């Protein structure tokens, strides 16, 4: 079989995997059947290109074209993720993987000289949608996330990360900072579907990223008194779901008072969650973003103070737990300038979304490319890519890699 050398060709296979009939879009949770199928697909596509595949101690899959003398040091690395948010779009993650594979095809077809090794990497659990920790694979690799804490992570069904890893064929006792993997990366460039309207407004297919906004997830737990919906008089209740309703609105209002801030409640879980039951507890997840980490943290304490006061009016208590935090990131200016020299038409845009590239930027020169999304919508089935833009993105990535691979 001749291998597809277009992004849309590759995504034809990916499109079949992990559709979510109930939510719409795709749910590809890390080490679920859908995720494992896409990991296998990636290995097969890498093997078709004669790339050498290995899986690192944190579950990232690497596909290598070694440099002169079989070297794996000072590699130019590209890649992204294939896991998704619940009911996510088709392209957040897989576009970067498919574009990387197609870029390899472009380099092969043009007989590009590789003075440095080239690798395509697939990071696990970028979204944190299964275990609650965004960019878990890359954070374990850099040491930003503690492997002992990782082993305590469980999904909503109570399945531990260790069990999920074993299902993926990964030994959970080996998680942790991976100096060997890190020392091989000379530069990392991630291509991603754009998650806003920057490229639509500018009329360009491809952008270079300058920075990532700081991004954290907190959990507010509102506790009240579980009781019977029929037998409990209206003024004898301590209903945490009523308090949580006030909390959701005050999160939005508090963020509106802080220029540049974004705060979102996208998930609320009443316990036990019966239709004829006054909940005893409600977990409210609050996603907060700002370029200035101090401002983000101060917004979270404002939210917590106000949440406690709002909950007290309902006779309820609130506790706050930080689930994850990734500070704002400025990508390497030298690498960014180099990309800009290769792609002079590409505008420079900020990223409102988090990425593994943001984690790697702490330890190696890192850059990102965005491909235009004609809806400007992401983390939703509405996310879109035009075929021509997808191929332009992969060609731009190939040009960037060719430049970085030639000394
Ligand atoms: C990543 O997708 C994010 O939530 O920013
Ligand atoms: Mn995402
Ligand atoms: Mn992504
Ligand atoms: Mn993400």
Interval 247-286: pLDDT, tens: 999 999 999 999 999 999 999 999 999 999 999 999 999 9
Are β-strands 317-326 and 214-223 bridged in parallel, bridged antiparallel, or unpaired? antiparallel
Alpha-carbon distance values, 155 to 125, 130, 132, 269, 320 (Å): 12, 5, 8, 14, 19
What is the torsion angle, in degrees rounded to the nearest 10, for the CA atoms of residue 16, residue 22, residue 25 and residue 26?
A: -60
Q: How confident is the model at residue 113, as a pLDDT?
A: 87
| Residues within 6 Å of ligand 1 by CB | 127, 215, 353-354
Dihedral of CA atoms 333, 122, 129, 158 in degrees, nearest 10, equals -140
Per DSSP, 280 falls in state S
Q: What is the pLDDT of residue 258?
A: 98
Nearest to 403 by CA among 19, 13, 110: 110
Hey, is 396 helix, strand or coil?
A: helix
Q: What is the DSSP letter of 279?
A: -
What pLDDT is recorded for position 3?
Answer: 53
The confidence band for 112, taking pLDDT boundaries of 50, 70 and 90, is confident
pLDDT at 192 over 70: yes
Work out which ligand 1 atom sits closest to the CA atom of 353.
5
Map residue 37 onto helix, strand or coil. Answer: helix
Domain architecture of the chain: domains with CATH: 7-213+328-405 (3.40.630.10), 214-326 (3.30.70.360)
Task: Give pLDDT tens digits for 222-232.
Answer: 999 999 999 99
pLDDT at position 1, please?
Answer: 40
pLDDT at 111 over 60: yes
| ipTM of this predicted structure | 0.90
Binding site feature residues: 81, 92, 127, 192, 379
The pLDDT of residue 4 is above 80: no
Task: Give which of 330, 331, 346, 329 is closest to 400, Cα–Cα.
Answer: 346
Count the neighbouring beta carbons within 10 Å of the beta carbon of residue 101. 24
Looking at residue 305, its pLDDT comes to 98
Q: How high is the mean pLDDT of the chain? A: 97
H-helix segments, 333-377: 333-342, 356-360
154 pLDDT band (50/70/90 cuts)?
very high
pLDDT tens readout for residues 294-327: 999 999 999 999 999 999 999 999 999 999 898 9
- Residue 156 predicted with pLDDT over 50: yes
The best mutation among 87, 125, 353 to test binding of ligand 1, ranked by most ligand atoms within 8 Å of the C-beta, falls on 353
């Amino acid at each position: 079989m001749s291998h597809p050398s277009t992004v849309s060709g590759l995504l034809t296979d990916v499109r079949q995997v992990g559709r979510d009939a109930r939510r719409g879009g795709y749910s590809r949770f890390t080490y679920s059947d859908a995720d494992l199928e896409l990991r296998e697909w990636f290995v097969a596509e890498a093997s078709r290109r004669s790339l050498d595949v290995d899986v690192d101690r944190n579950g990232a899959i690497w596909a290598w074209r070694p440099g002169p003398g079989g070297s794996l040091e000072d590699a130019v690395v590209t890649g992204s993720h294939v896991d998704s948010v619940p009911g996510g779009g088709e392209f957040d993650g897989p576009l970067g993987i498919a574009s990387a594979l197609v870029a390899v095809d472009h380099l092969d077809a043009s007989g590009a000289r590789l003075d440095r090794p080239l690798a395509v990497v697939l990071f696990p659990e970028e979204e944190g949608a299964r275990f609650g920790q965004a960019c878990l694979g890359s954070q374990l690799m850099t040491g930003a996330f503690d492997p002992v804490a990782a082993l305590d992570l469980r999904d909503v069904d109570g399945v531990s990360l260790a069990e999920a890893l074993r299902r993926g064929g990964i030994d959970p006792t080996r998680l942790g900072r991976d100096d060997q993997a890190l020392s091989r990366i000379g530069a990392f460039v991630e291509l991603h579907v754009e998650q806003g309207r920057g490229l639509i407004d500018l009329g360009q297919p491809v952008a270079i990223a300058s920075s990532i906004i700081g991004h954290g997830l907190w959990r507010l737990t509102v506790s009240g008194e579980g009781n019977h919906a029929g037998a409990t008089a209206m003024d004898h209740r301590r209903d945490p779901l009523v308090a949580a309703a006030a909390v959701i609105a005050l999160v939005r209002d508090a963020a509106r008072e802080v220029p540049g801030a974004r705060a979102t409640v996208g998930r609320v879980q009443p316990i036990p969650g019966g239709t004829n039951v006054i909940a005893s507890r409600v977990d409210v997840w609050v996603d907060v973003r700002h370029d200035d980490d101090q401002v983000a943290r101060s917004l979270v304490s404002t939210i917590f103070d106000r949440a406690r006061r709002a909950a007290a009016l309902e006779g309820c208590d609130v506790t706050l737990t930080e689930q994850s935090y990734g500070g704002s990131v400025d990508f390497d200016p030298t690498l960014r300038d180099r990309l800009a020299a290769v792609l002079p038409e590409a505008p420079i845009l900020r990223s409102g979304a988090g990425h593994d590239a943001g984690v790697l930027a702490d330890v190696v020169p890192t850059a990102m490319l965005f491909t235009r999304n004609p809806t400007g919508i992401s983390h939703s089935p509405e996310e879109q890519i035009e075929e021509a833009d997808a191929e332009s993105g992969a060609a731009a990535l190939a040009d960037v890699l060719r430049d970085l691979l030639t000394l």
